[in-house]
Amino acid sequence: MTWIDLAPVRVTSKDVLDSIYRGYIAGIRRQSLDSELRFCRQKAVAGNLGQPDFAWLCNVLLTTRSLASVGKGYLMPRGLGALEAYGRVKSYAMRIAQILFVDRLVKHGFHEAVDAGSFASTINEIADKIKDRAIHNRGPIEDDEARFFAVLFVFQLVFDRKFVPDHDIVSCHRGGSGRHRVISDWARAIAYLKYTNTAVVDAPGELRNLCYEITTGWSRGIDIETWNKLNDSYYSGKSMATGKKNVFAAHYDVILERMLPQFAMSKILLAERIIKDLKRLCRPVRVVDIGAGSGAMAINLLMAAHEAGLPAGRIQYLGLEPCRSMINKFKSNFKSKAHCPPPAGWEVRPGSLERAIDALPPSDGRPTWACFSYCLHHCFHKSVELFFTSPEVQSSFSRIYALDVVAEHGWLKPFYTWVDCESPENFDNVAIHGPWRVVDVWNHPSDPIAATAVTNAWCSCRILEP
Ligand SMILES: C[S@@+](CC[C@H](N)C(=O)[O-])C[C@H]1O[C@@H](n2cnc3c(N)ncnc32)[C@H](O)[C@@H]1O
């Protein structure tokens, strides 16, 4: 890990207990299959997990998944609804990701990044607290497990302090001037990406299979209704594992873009591309942003239009988003990032990929472009296939912009963000395009990080045309 500055960081137990991870600590308790995971947690704190362990973990995850679809056994008691059963599978996937995260960091000597003077006492204090919480939550855990969780949270906090700046890396200028790039600390923040790429290079097949199952394969057998409810629950900010706030979705707009500024940057590049294409067309266009979240793309489009000297009126923006709590944040998010309200008529409405055609206003002759910004891997697999093969979609949209993470980086997320492994996702979706003609716009970054990496790119932008 030579490219990481391992200069020791001091972390107190109070820092950990007050951190954004406090919900996970407050909700900790023994859960089904925890006794089976115990030996892996013990090996992880020593950095000793090997290929047979990865294969074994993959096997138990797949067994749990198969039980979820039939709802039987002590892991999935009869009568458990599909939502809760798959919620358990996903929360189990996240708990395996925690094990991989610790194992990986220990193997890389990450303990050197924690102040040696305070390490032992901090771990002991947090482990005691964790044991108390587990008793309080009626799921007592053993000393060695409490120690595993203490190491997990201390490492996580040090990891964040090393890589996640406490300020925005990419942001909008005040006054809606259209200038939106303020980049500082870029190299430090994208170290997350480098970290994952190292993991890609090193990972043995068993570990890669396990990561694939945690992030993608877990969903085989699930029905659309359960999938969409899991998505709603996730983006409403609730952790299935703890019943407490799920860190990623609850702090989505702030944390994600600081942890992975490539996200923010690639969205700006996409908005600039759309505006450039629109300018060339010389007529107004409707842009339908499917899976709009809280409207990040709307903000970037407005900024890019300002910068290009294009009146906002040339774009009719409509965001479709299934999760109500994301829609509710649209206006405030817009104001705080763009420093102005959304242009008249720009809105995010309840809607989805499945119902995108029904949500379209009657055609007024303007070309209609669809846009997906990091949405496709969140959708139900079959729905994505149906969308891209639907003749109605082909006749309604003259172009589709699709920005998403490159699949390998999706399924390697356990290495750098176990908190997000509860999210219902399927990275096989990003390659689907049906009969559409695909133009690869860019991969970002385009320069190789390691010659042997599976892929050098982290995200990719495609344009699909009929
Ligand atoms: C990673 S967020 C991206 C949000 C936004 N596009 C952005 O760039 O910030 C993924 C979004 O996809 C949405 N999503 C999930 N399933 C969907 C579906 N079937 N149709 C449309 N959107 C969906 C989620 O609710 C979530 O808001």
Q: What does the pLDDT average to over 19-26?
A: 89
Q: Which residues contact 381 (CB under 8 A, 6 or more apart)?
A: 219, 426, 428, 429
Evaluate if residue 49 carries a pLDDT over 80: yes
Alpha-carbon distance 207 to 412, whole Å?
A: 9
* CA 153 to centroid of ligand 1, rounded, Å: 28
Q: What's the confidence (pLDDT) of residue 1?
A: 45
Task: Give the closest residue (by CA) to ligand 1 atom 8.
Answer: 373
Q: Which residues contact 162 (CB under 8 A, 6 or more apart)?
A: 4, 5, 9, 113, 188, 191
Q: What is the largest CA-CA distance in the chain?
A: 69
Q: What's the confidence (pLDDT) of residue 52?
A: 97
Rounded to the nearest integer, the mean pLDDT of the chain is: 86
Q: Is the shortest distance between the CB of 238 and ligand 1 below 6 Å?
A: no
State the residue for tokens 């409405």: 349
Task: Give the closest residue (by CA) to ligand 1 atom 26.
Answer: 293
Helix (H) or strand (E) holding 369: strand 368-373
Q: Is the shortest distance between the CB of 462 and ligand 1 below 6 Å?
A: no
Nearest Cα residue to 463 out of 332, 274, 252, 210: 274
Nearest Cα residue to 426 out of 16, 31, 44, 90: 90
To the nearest whole percent, how much of the chain has pLDDT over 90? 53
Could you tell me the pTM of the whole model? 0.92
* CA 52 to centroid of ligand 1, rounded, Å: 36
Closest atom, ligand 1, to C-alpha of 289: 6
Alpha-carbon distance 12 to 250, whole Å?
A: 24
Q: Is the shortest distance between the CB of 291 and ligand 1 below 6 Å?
A: yes
Query: In sequence order, which ranges of 236-380 are alpha helices (DSSP H)?
Result: 247-250, 257-259, 261-281, 296-308, 324-328, 330-338, 356-359
Q: Which amino acid is at 219?
A: S
Count of C-beta atoms within a 10 Å radius of residue 374: 21
Q: What's the confidence (pLDDT) of residue 450?
A: 40
Q: Which amino acid is at 89?
A: V
Here the tokens at position 402 are 């699709």
Here the tokens at position 49 are 């997990």
* CA 233 to centroid of ligand 1, rounded, Å: 13
* CA 323 to centroid of ligand 1, rounded, Å: 8
Q: Is the shortest distance between the CB of 237 and ligand 1 below 6 Å?
A: no
Q: What is the pLDDT of residues 170-207, one digit of tens each?
A: 765 545 555 666 666 777 777 766 766 666 666 788 99
Q: What is the pLDDT of residues 232-243, one digit of tens each?
A: 988 887 777 777
Evaluate if residue 117 carries a pLDDT over 70: yes
Q: Is the shortest distance between the CB of 264 and ligand 1 below 6 Å?
A: no
Q: What's the confidence (pLDDT) of residue 452?
A: 36
Question: Do residues 68 and 82 lie in contact, with contact meaning Cβ atoms separated by under 8 Å?
Answer: yes
Q: Which of 219, 231, 400, 425 to mutate to test the pocket of ligand 1 (most atoms within 8 A of CB)?
A: 231
The hierarchical CATH code for the domain 169-466 is: 3.40.50.150
* CA 321 to centroid of ligand 1, rounded, Å: 6
* CA 430 to centroid of ligand 1, rounded, Å: 13
Q: What's the confidence (pLDDT) of residue 317?
A: 97
Closest atom, ligand 1, to C-alpha of 320: 21
Evaluate if residue 250 carries a pLDDT over 90: no
Question: Do residues 350 and 389 lie in contact, with contact meaning Cβ atoms separated by under 8 Å?
Answer: no
Coil, helix or strand at residue 163? helix
Nearest Cα residue to 266 out of 372, 416, 367: 372
> Binning pLDDT at 50, 70 and 90, where does residue 447 land?
very low
Q: What's the confidence (pLDDT) of residue 235?
A: 87
Evaluate if residue 4 carries a pLDDT over 70: no
Q: Is the shortest distance between the CB of 300 and ligand 1 below 6 Å?
A: no
Delimit the domains of the chain by residue range: 1-163, 169-466
Q: What's the confidence (pLDDT) of residue 165?
A: 78
Alpha-carbon distance 333 to 326, whole Å?
A: 10
Task: Give the closest residue (by CA) to ligand 1 atom 14.
Answer: 291
What strands, in cross-sheet order, belong to the sheet with 315-321?
Answer: 347-350, 315-321, 285-290, 368-373, 399-405, 459-465, 437-444
Q: What's the confidence (pLDDT) of residue 172?
A: 57
Alpha-carbon distance 268 to 271, whole Å?
A: 5
Query: In sequence order, which ranges of 12-115 are alpha helices (DSSP H)?
Result: 13-17, 22-26, 34-45, 51-70, 82-107
